[in-house]
Amino acid sequence: MNPFPKTAILSGANCLTDLRRFISESSYSSIVVLVDENTQEFCYPLLKLPRYHHLLKVNSGEENKNLANCLEVWKNLSELECDRKTLLINLGGGVLCDMGGFIASTYLRGIDFLNIPTTLLAMCDAGIGGKTGVNFNGLKNQIGVFNDPISIFINVDFLETLPEKQFLSGYAEIIKHALIADKVMFKSISKQDDIKKGIIKQVLHSHKIKLKIVASDAFEKGVRKSLNFGHSIGHALESLFLVNDPQNAIFHGEAVAAGMITEAIISFNRQLLSAGELEMIINVISNWFPKLKISPVDISDIIDYISNDKKNEYNRKLFTLLDGIGHYSINNDVTDDEISQSLEHYLSL
Ligand SMILES: NC(=O)c1ccc[n+]([C@@H]2O[C@H](COP(=O)([O-])OP(=O)(O)OC[C@H]3O[C@@H](n4cnc5c(N)ncnc54)[C@H](O)[C@@H]3O)[C@@H](O)[C@H]2O)c1
């Protein structure tokens, strides 16, 4: 019997030992580890896999989460004669987990893959939930499939080499999980003066929140949409910076932080949040995330990006808003004027 049903999450001190046991006991015909240059240097040496495996490398960065890299990896898998019994191990952040998951889900109509998230964001969010894919035509995650990894191994020791800004980027998703699902956690985040204090507990709690949500709605028909809070405007901001200035693209978490503030402003304007709650949300997020450099002329581009959002239905821009801290409201049909007002409010902060 497979002791690691789809999807098991293994975390904690013995996580890499569990991984090695899993590899030793498995009967895969070949094992391929997908890394980028940073995870190759900092994380791969800790794996010490007990079996022969191939190592494939892609360049790091959001700009490399694309079909060109998928083609390269599919070609390599094919040249290595990897068959359907191959296991792909994604060792990296959200970019690598998303792209590697998509590569595995489509190669030979699908091979097993597992995620070993190495960033805070991937541990709490991107590595869990089965959304795989790549950016296309200037749009985030435009091509992809839902498919779960067979296992996720969460080893917080990897965070030791993660650059500060990347750490912060992942923290945005921890704040999001608290805002949509856990008022007590948000209160404790609001008192936090050192972002790394108690991070192990927060990672475990945060990924449990996400896991509970995706377990009850894998294909985002209902409650899973709560996870989109901050992401309608956030993704548009990410696309704006990616297209306008690819060398200085902002981090996903930075975009989501601004997205959460602007979407909280819309929630407040709809009287779903009180003035005190909005103020608290703005203060907590602004404490960690500096304001993004956008100008009033960008607003129409941002709205255009939102018009192409996968979350839209029948040309309606459907947002997840907050209905008090720790509660959410999904499928809110938000107008361009409301988006524009929220961005103007953000610019005035
Ligand atoms: N699938 C989902 O549900 C989901 C959810 C949220 C975000 N995402 C996606 O996640 C992506 C962002 O992920 P991310 O923030 O992890 O960024 P990332 O994957 O680009 O990694 C950030 C950087 O850190 C480096 N790195 C990774 N681990 C390291 C370590 N332990 N030590 C040193 N350096 C390390 C990487 O090489 C990279 O340069 C976006 O593409 C976003 O769309 C997906």
Is-above-0.85 flag for pTM?
yes
HEC readout, 32-98: EEEECHHHHHHCHHHHCCCCCCEEEECCCCHHHCCHHHHHHHHHHHHHCCCCCCEEEEEEECHHHHH
72 flagged as catalytic? no
For residue 94, what pLDDT is reported? 95
CB proximity list for 188: less than 8 A, separation 6 or greater: none
Residue 51 annotated to the active site: no
Known catalytic membership, residue 53: no
Nearest to 165 by CA among 99, 109, 240, 248: 248
Q: How far apart are CA 139 and CA 242, in angstroms?
A: 9
C-alpha 144/C-alpha 170 separation (Å) is 22
Residue, of 57 and 5, whose pLDDT is higher: 57
Of 165, 181, 183, 179, residue with least CA distance to 216: 181
Q: Among 251, 262, 256, 252, which residue's Cα sits nearest to residue 349?
A: 262
Taking the C-alpha atoms of residue 245 and residue 60, their distance in angstroms, rounded to an integer, is 17
| Ligand 1 atom at minimal distance to the Cα of residue 122 | 16
Q: Which of 36, 47, 95 most suits a substitution to test ligand 1, by most atoms within 8 Å of the C-beta? A: 95
Atom of ligand 1 lying closest to residue 158 CA = 31
Atom of ligand 1 nearest to the CA of 170: 15
For residue 62, the CA-to-ligand 1 centroid distance in Å is 8
Of 62, 173, 277, 338, which is the active-site residue? 173
Q: Look up 131 and say whether it is catalytic.
A: yes
- Per-residue pLDDT tens for 181-236? 999 999 999 999 998 888 888 998 998 899 899 989 988 899 999 999 999 999 99
Whether the CB of 228 sits within 6 Å of ligand 1: no
Query: Is there a cis peptide before residue 7, judged by omega within 30 degrees of 0?
Result: yes
Residue range 23-29: mean pLDDT, rounded: 95
Reported as a single tens digit per residue, the pLDDT across 278-323 is 999 999 999 999 999 999 999 999 999 999 888 888 889 999 999 9
Q: Is the CB of 121 under 6 A from ligand 1?
A: yes
Task: Give the closest residue (by CA) to ligand 1 atom 6.
Answer: 126
pLDDT at residue 6, rounded to an integer: 60
234-263 pLDDT, tens per residue? 999 998 998 888 778 899 899 999 999 999
With a 6 A CB cut-off, is 126 part of the ligand 1 pocket? yes
The residue from 65, 205, 224, 311 that is catalytic is: 224
